[in-house]
């Protein structure tokens, strides 16, 4: 059966009802991958703390690279296995570092993942985040050069994918964190996580993803089920290593003598939350005439469908309906033929 390559985006740090928590969009990704046969999505969708899955129909692509794919700047190449290197922030305390190293060893021994080596940054990254429950999550890295230099060193040693573990400020008692844990706000650390991974993608052009290093957090009996995956282990590193284990290689276009598994010209559709239609990938998709499937998924952005007069914009109420749309496109069925009432074909006036 033919595939219908589809990009699935849930932007980081905007408080989406589906996908704004710890891997709670993973079941949706599996559904859309089954419908399309080829889904390209990013770590925010796939990472569930200590929980994640591999799926042969899903390409795991960092968000900055995903935008570049949509714009036609890169292609993707399937690999059987990535050789993963880990960058640890030198600000991480010894006990937390040991826990992360034990996780890496467990992923090798239990899952067969190729975690090749690690480095510790020469100076602390100094992560600062700026968010509250009413706005987009964000932040910055005060020492970005330390991160880039560590990544370059790992690549020189033969690493092909990079996991980053940065020390985050301890805000376990903050109101924003507790609001998020109870399912009512924005993930306060996700915005700066995206900044970290975007930096590696932009300058080193290898698959990458980030896991924060945080101190243990107090038990919260009012925990929302969507946030529960972050509460069941010492680190968030397992899902990152699982995702990176066979993430596709980035192929710069135009490519010479390079085997390509997915060219950007093959992409047919982009699935995105209603309200989040202003991203680079969506705008590139509109320019190329792709199907933009806008799903009702409550978030704090307001770039909605009424801002566009675009014939290939399809509005749906949920991801179950989105999967049906993708399957219809995949099978080459006219969408109008399954809607009711069914309209008669129109006549265009024609004369000499």
Check if the beta carbon of residue 93 is closer than 8 Å to that of residue 112.
Answer: no
Structure tokens at 73: 């700047």
- Polymer length in residues for the chain: 352
Q: What is the pLDDT, as a whole number, of residue 46?
A: 93
Q: Is it the case that residue 228 has pLDDT exceeding 50?
A: yes
Number of alpha carbons in the 13 Å side-chain half-sphere of residue 305: 16
Q: Is it the case that residue 137 has pLDDT exceeding 60?
A: no
Average per-residue pLDDT for the chain: 88
In tens, the pLDDT along 7-25 reads: 999 988 778 888 887 888 9
Consecutive H or E run containing 4: none
* CA–CA gap between residue 165 and residue 90 (Å, rounded): 10
Consecutive H or E run containing 312: none
Of 54, 18, 42, the closest CA to residue 225 belongs to 18
Mean pLDDT along residues 277-285:
92
Q: What is the pLDDT, as a whole number, of residue 62?
A: 95
Query: Which runs of E-coded beta strand occur in the chain?
Result: 6-8, 39-41, 58-60, 74-77, 84-88, 115-120, 127-130, 138-141, 161-167, 208-213, 249-252, 269-273, 291-295, 313-316
CA 9-15-20 angle, to 5 degrees, is: 55
Q: Is it the case that residue 149 has pLDDT exceeding 90?
A: yes
In tens, the pLDDT along 51-91 reads: 898 899 999 999 999 999 999 999 999 999 999 999 999 99
Residue recorded with tokens 């704004």: 20
Whole-model pTM: value is 0.90
In tens, the pLDDT along 168-218 reads: 877 544 666 666 665 566 665 666 777 899 999 999 999 999 998 887 777
Q: What is the pLDDT, as a whole number, of residue 133?
A: 44
In tens, the pLDDT along 295-349 reads: 998 877 766 666 567 889 999 999 999 999 999 999 999 999 998 999 899 999 9
Percent of the chain with pLDDT strictly greater than 90? 62
Q: Is it the case that residue 111 has pLDDT exceeding 80?
A: yes
Distance of CA 34 to the CA centre of its chain: 18
* CA–CA gap between residue 170 and residue 106 (Å, rounded): 26
């Amino acid at each position: 059966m033919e595939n219908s390559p589809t990009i699935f985006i849930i932007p980081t740090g905007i408080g989406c009802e589906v996908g704004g928590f710890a891997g709670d969009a993973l079941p949706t990704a599996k559904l859309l991958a089954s419908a399309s046969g080829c889904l390209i999505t990013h770590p925010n969708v796939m990472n569930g703390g200590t929980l994640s899955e591999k799926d042969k129909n899903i390409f795991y692509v960092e968000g900055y690279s995903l935008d570049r794919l949509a714009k036609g700047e890169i292609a993707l190449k399937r690999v059987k296995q990535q050789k993963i290197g880990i960058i640890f922030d030198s600000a991480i305390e010894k006990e937390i570092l040991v826990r992360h190293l034990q996780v890496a060893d467990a992923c090798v021994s239990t899952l067969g993942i190729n975690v090749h080596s690690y480095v510790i940054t020469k100076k602390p990254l100094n992560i600062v985040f700026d968010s509250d429950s009413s706005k987009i999550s964000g932040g910055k890295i005060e020492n970005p050069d330390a991160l880039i230099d560590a990544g370059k060193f790992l690549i020189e040693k033969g690493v092909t994918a990079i996991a980053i573990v940065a020390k985050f400020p301890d805000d376990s008692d903050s109101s924003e964190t507790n609001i998020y844990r109870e399912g009512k706000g924005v993930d306060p650390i996700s915005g700066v996580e995206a900044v970290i991974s975007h930096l590696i993608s932009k300058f080193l052009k290898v698959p990458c993803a980030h896991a924060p290093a945080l101190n243990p957090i107090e038990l919260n009996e009012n925990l929302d089920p969507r946030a529960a995956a972050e509460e069941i282990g010492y680190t968030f590193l397992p899902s990152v290593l699982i995702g990176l284990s066979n993430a596709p290689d980035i192929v710069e276009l135009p490519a010479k003598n390079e085997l390509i598994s997915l060219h950007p010209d093959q992409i047919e559709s982009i699935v995105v939350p209603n309200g989040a239609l202003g991203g680079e990938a969506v705008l590139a998709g509109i320019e190329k005439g792709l199907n933009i499937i806008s799903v009702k998924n409550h978030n704090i952005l307001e770039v909605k469908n009424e801002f566009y007069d675009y014939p290939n914009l399809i509005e749906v109420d949920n991801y179950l309906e989105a999967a049906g749309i993708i399957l219809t496109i995949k099978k080459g069925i006219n969408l109008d033929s399954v809607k009711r009432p069914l309209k008669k074909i129109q006549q265009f006036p024609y004369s000499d």
